[in-house]
Amino acid sequence: MGKKKKKYKLKTHRGAKKRFKVTARGKVLRMKGRRSHLRRKKAPRVRREFRTMLPLSSSDRKRVQQAMPGLGKSKGEDDRKE
């Protein structure tokens, strides 16, 4: 019998893993930009808005999916419109 070919594992991009969160339904969420410094002079309302996560656009989602191969599609994602 011949040698078996070794299958390589797909690695998750560690930076992408820290920056994005995937919901139970498969939506990818991101944080807002420009929140790292000079926050004291920003209005409290703006600082509160920085806490919320926003859904990723569909074009960016494809790029994140390449960086995070374990992301996959959730069940019934094709039938639902968000």
**Domain extent at residue 58:** 16-67
pLDDT at 58: 87
Q: Whole-angstrom Cα distance, residue 62 to residue 23? A: 16
pLDDT in tens, 18-37: 999 999 888 899 998 888 88
CATH number at residue 55: 4.10.410
pLDDT at 49: 92
2 located within any domain: no
Name the pLDDT band for 79 (thresholds 50, 70, 90): very low
**What are the CA-CA distances from residue 7 to residues 10, 36, 69, 70, 71 (Å)?**
9, 40, 15, 16, 19
3-state SS, residue 60: helix
Closest CA relative to residue 23, chosen from 80, 71, 79, 59: 71
Domain total of the chain: 1
- Tokens, residue 23: 């919901």
